[in-house]
Amino acid sequence: HESLNRPLLLLGGERTWMIVLGMLCGVFCFVLMHWWSFGLGIVLWFAGRAPLVRAAKADPQLSKTARRFLKYKAFYPAAATPFAGLKEKV
């Protein structure tokens, strides 16, 4: 069934990053309890949600894909050489 293959999104964005954004905005709005922090939390929510939704439309698993991409070397020579070196794990 199609629902088994769809990625798990929250409000149109990748689930993990939307939860992080919601927690951050919640801290600004409800924990700091200043008029400016409430406004900053609302602005941060709308400013942060739009790029997360756009990124999820491009690739629903962007954070996992990007993390794996960063492990790759910039250049792989055509032949094996002892001078290639190994890239450290992040």
Task: Read off the pLDDT of residues 1-57 as tens digits, 9 standing for 90 and up.
Answer: 777 888 889 999 999 999 999 999 999 999 988 899 999 999 999 999 999 999 999
Domain boundaries, the chain: 2-70
Q: What share of the chain is helix, strand, coil (3-state, %, to 5)?
A: 60, 5, 35
Asked if pLDDT for residue 84 goes beyond 80, the answer is: no
Predicted TM-score (pTM) of this structure: 0.73
Q: What is the largest CA-CA distance in the chain?
A: 62
Please state, in angstroms and rounded to a whole number, the distance separating the CA atoms of residues 83 and 90.
21
